């Protein structure tokens, strides 16, 4: 039986490269409706990954509503990439039909694409809570200060009309204040989008779930519930912030030395808990990390962070105090190389380092993919003499995502006709589907779509169509957006894996005979100890460029290709490595 050929994609800027095949059609997929006034939902990101580039489009007729525009952190095999943003090529040419962009909360996986994408879509109006708006404004000032966003502040129970869409906002608990769910009323039915959520009736009032409004929306009738799947594999209910607060208090009362608390810069509810506990136990707080300082200032301005004027201190003040007199509140709980905690652990911080007897508290969950970095960080802290507490030892962190029983409770409150899992890899989406079935949603009314796949609702019926809009990774690398593709990543991985050889060959244009030849290598071998190896490479290059027909002028491209082929063969035979080879021809 013949082997099935690999799926390939041709790009105008380079040769073919291998990519993953298109997903297989799912059972129950249907052809799209020919009726123009159909309600459509198109996930542009977030449905094939956990915690990344969340972005969905709700469409009725020609009118479009975008929900969230997040980023995704790069994988290990994406060297040099800063982050990935949603592919919105589907929206090109439809800018005038975009009625608005709704951002459910301020985390990067829901906001990170805004500064890059919004200007390319005609700068449509953005609707978000006050904290989310402030964070978006700050991010835009950092990335593109000359451009302004059209920000509109909304709060729970607000209602707005955006073309064919009537949008109602309701508060949901998450681990950042100002998190909102939305109910979008269209002529074809009501769609509820949760964003990231958990159900917490004991959280601070600024972060509490608005159960009453959710019940009222359910009573009006819900055609489809788009539901967060991040924690769908976890049984039970999510830990309440009230429980976390008790454990934070216990930790403070039992700690005699210096404390270093690491958490997400955006987790302002945890920051507030730490500040309150520090004041109660007569400790000052030294804040480290640019994003942490920025978010605390924003939180103070909006009233989400409240503390005494002298609670937060400078290093000059801290160094005059005994270790038990202050704590360090910093970023870096995910093991990020340049974050404050990693620099402290590696003794690379300007003035802070670990002292024997320090207690380091990880008040965060580990993002998938960061496990090894966090493990290395903890090892380094322990070697320096610190003790460690994390959420596995004590409930000092409550995840921001609903567990199975929370999701089931929300489904029972809203009673949707159709259930669409979002925000998770395929396994998480399937787990969420099973929760919905147990909560009473018929199996055939669970709609799972891939990124770019269109879901339609027509005449009261919902179904996943066979239409898939192409979705590619859009890489952000420094100031470049989308200029790094699979070809560039392939070259970077080759450089990282096997190094590079640059060959500089002088060629006599009249006789075609080789002149001086230089070989420069990086990342392949220690060249000073490889005299014979270098001499061998030079001999191969001389043979490659020797002109067999001196009366004809050699073609530079042909010479480069021949040098590359011959040298690749020679190097592989000697080293079993495949470095990148860059021939440079100089006519003399």
Between CA 179 and CA 157 the distance in angstroms is 13
Torsion 49-53-54-57 (CA) sign: negative
Q: Are 196 and 166 in contact (CB under 8 A)?
A: no
Report d(CA 102, CA 410) in Å as an integer. 21
| CB-based contact 523:495 (threshold 8 Å) | yes
The CA R_g of the chain, rounded to the nearest whole Å, is 28
| Nearest residue to 120 via CA among 141, 76, 90, 161 | 90
Chain centroid, CA 63 distance in Å:
28
Number of H helices, E strands in the chain: 15, 28
Q: Residue 121 CA to chain centroid, in angstroms?
A: 21
- DSSP code, position 427: H
**CA proximity to 49, closest of 98, 109, 127:** 109
Cα dist from 105 to 13, 190, 232, whole Å: 38, 21, 20
Measured distance CA(499)–CA(480) in Å, rounded: 24
* Structure-block tokens of residue 161: 């009309």
User: Which residues have a catalytic role annotated?
Assistant: 228, 401
Rounded CA separation 545/114 (Å): 52
Query: With helix as H, strand as E and coil as C, how does 6-39 read?
Result: CCEEEECCEEEEECCCCCCCCCCCECCCCCCCCE
Q: How many whole angstroms from its chain centre is CA 469?
A: 21
Residue 32 CB coordination number (10 Å): 14
CB 28 within 8 A of CB 463: yes
Cβ count within 10 A of residue 286: 21
User: Quick check: 287 and 294 in contact, CB under 8 A?
Assistant: no
Query: Is the Cβ–Cβ distance between 187 and 60 less than 8 Å?
Result: yes
């Amino acid at each position: 039986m013949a082997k099935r050929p690999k799926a390939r994609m041709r790009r105008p800027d380079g040769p073919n490269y291998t990519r993953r095949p298109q997903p297989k059609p799912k059972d129950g997929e249907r052809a799209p409706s020919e009726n123009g006034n159909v309600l459509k939902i198109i996930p542009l990101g977030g449905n094939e990954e956990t915690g990344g580039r969340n972005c969905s489009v709700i469409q009725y007729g020609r009118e479009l509503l975008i929900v969230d525009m997040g980023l995704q952190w790069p994988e290990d095999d994406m060297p040099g990439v800063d982050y990935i943003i949603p592919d919105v090529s589907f929206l090109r040419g439809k800018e005038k039909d975009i009625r608005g962009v709704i951002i459910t909360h301020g985390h990067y996986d829901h906001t990170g694409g805004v500064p890059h994408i919004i200007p390319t879509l005609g700068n449509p109006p953005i609707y978000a809570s006050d904290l989310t708006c402030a964070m978006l404004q700050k991010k835009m000032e950092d990335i593109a200060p000359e451009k302004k966003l059209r920000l509109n502040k909304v709060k729970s129970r607000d209602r707005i009309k955006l073309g064919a869409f009537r949008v109602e906002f309701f508060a949901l608990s998450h681990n950042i204040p100002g998190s909102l769910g939305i109910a979008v009323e269209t002529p074809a039915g009501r769609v509820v989008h949760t964003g990231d959520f958990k159900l917490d009736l004991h959280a601070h009032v600024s972060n509490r779930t608005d159960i009453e409004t959710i019940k009222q929306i359910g009573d009006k009738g819900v055609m489809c519930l788009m539901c967060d799947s991040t924690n769908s594999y976890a049984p039970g209910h999510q830990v309440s912030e009230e429980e976390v607060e008790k454990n934070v208090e216990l930790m403070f009362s039992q700690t005699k030395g210096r404390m270093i608390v690491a958490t997400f810069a955006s987790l302002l509810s945890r920051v507030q808990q730490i500040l309150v506990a520090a004041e109660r136990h007569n400790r000052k707080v030294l804040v480290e990390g640019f994003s942490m300082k920025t978010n605390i200032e924003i939180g103070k301005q909006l009233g989400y962070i409240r503390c005494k004027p002298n609670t937060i201190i400078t290093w000059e003040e801290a160094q005059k105090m005994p270790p038990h007199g202050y704590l360090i509140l910093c970023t870096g709980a995910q093991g990020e190389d340049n974050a404050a905690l990693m620099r402290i652990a590696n003794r690379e911080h300007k003035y802070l380092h670990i002292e024997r007897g320090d207690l380091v508290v990880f008040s965060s969950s580990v993002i998938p993919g960061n496990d090894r970095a966090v493990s290395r960080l903890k090892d380094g802290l322990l070697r320096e003499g610190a003790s460690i507490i994390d959420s596995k030892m004590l409930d000092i962190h409550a995840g921001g995502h609903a567990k199975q029983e929370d999701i089931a409770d929300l489904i029972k409150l809203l009673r949707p006709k159709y259930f669409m899992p979002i925000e998770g890899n395929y396994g998480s989406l399937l787990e969420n589907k099973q929760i919905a079935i147990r909560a009473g949603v018929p199996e055939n009314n669970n709609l799972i779509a891939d990124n770019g796949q269109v879901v339609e609702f027509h005449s009261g019926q919902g179904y996943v169509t066979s239409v898939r809009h192409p979705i590619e990774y859009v890489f952000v690398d420094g100031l470049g957006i989308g200029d790094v593709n699979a070809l560039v990543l392939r070259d970077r991985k080759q450089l990282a894996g096997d190094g590079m050889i640059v060959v500089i060959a002088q060629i006599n244009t009249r006789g075609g005979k080789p002149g001086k030849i230089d070989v420069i290598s990086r990342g392949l071998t220690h060249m000073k100890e490889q005299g014979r190896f270098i001499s061998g490479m030079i001999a191969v290059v001389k043979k490659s460029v020797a002109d067999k027909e001196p009366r004809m002028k050699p073609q530079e491209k042909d010479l480069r290709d021949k040098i590359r082929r011959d040298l690749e063969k020679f190097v592989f035979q000697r080293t079993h490595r495949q470095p990148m080879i860059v021939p440079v021809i100089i006519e003399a």
